Each structure stands twice: as C-alpha cells, then as structure tokens.
C-alpha cells in the first residue's frame, strides 16, 4: 500500500475510486494548504526540469500554472491580478525574450 502524504488534484479521489481502490484523505487547513502548494510547486518544477521533450515540458508547465492559480487565491488575488503584476514588471524591466545573459557589472 503506497503512502503519498501529498497534495493532489481535486478529482484524484474519484479517479482512485473508479479504479476500484480505497484511499484515505483529509482536508488541509489554510496554513497547511499554502505550505503543501509551495511544496507541490517544487515537485512540479523538478518534473519540468527533467522533462525529456517539449510535450512533457508543456504538461509540467501546465501543472505549474495550476499551482500558480491556486497560490494566487491563497494570497487573496486572482490569476488576473498576477498577470497584471507580471505585465507591469515586463513593461518596466522587460521580459526574457531577448535571451540576455548577464556576465558581470563593473563599478567604475
């Protein structure tokens, strides 16, 4: 019997049940939920970093984006608010499209 002790997507219990298996879950409180979402972000980022091809990378990016949506809500905001902050930062500081790799800065 595998023990997972991790945050899972909302429909995972129904999927497990449909496979004819039993399971144990509990509902996290807000502090635990935020902590587990952060942990899940690391897990999904690691899976992205180890993706073998573009299709797998996109799957993992979608998982990361789902985590970002949930974390935005935890912080009392919507994904639209996060996007607005992202756009404002991109306007002021740029994005990453030009592939600039900073080597060093000299104080002269």
With a threshold of 0.85, does the pTM exceed it? yes
- Asked if 53 and 61 count as a contact pair (C-beta separation under 8 A), the reply is no
Enter the tokens of residue 21. 């298996």
Largest Cα–Cα separation, the chain: 69
The model's pLDDT over 10-67, given as tens digits with 9 standing for 90+, comes to 999 999 999 999 999 999 999 999 999 999 999 999 999 999 999 999 999 999 999 9
The CA distances from residue 41 to 10, 35, 59, 93, in Å, are 16, 10, 14, 25
Enter the tokens of residue 104. 């060093």
> Rounded distance, CA 20 to CA 8, Å?
18
């Amino acid at each position: 019997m595998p023990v997972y002790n991790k945050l899972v997507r909302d429909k995972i219990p129904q999927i497990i049940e449909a496979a004819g298996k039993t399971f144990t879950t509990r509902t996290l409180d807000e502090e635990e939920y935020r902590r587990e979402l952060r942990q899940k972000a690391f897990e999904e980022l690691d899976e992205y970093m180890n993706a073998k091809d573009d299709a797998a990378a996109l799957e993992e990016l979608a998982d990361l984006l789902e985590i970002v949506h949930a974390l935005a809500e935890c912080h009392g905001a919507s994904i639209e608010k996060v996007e607005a902050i992202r756009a404002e930062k991109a306007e002021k500081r740029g994005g990453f499209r030009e592939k600039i790799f900073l080597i060093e800065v000299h104080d002269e």
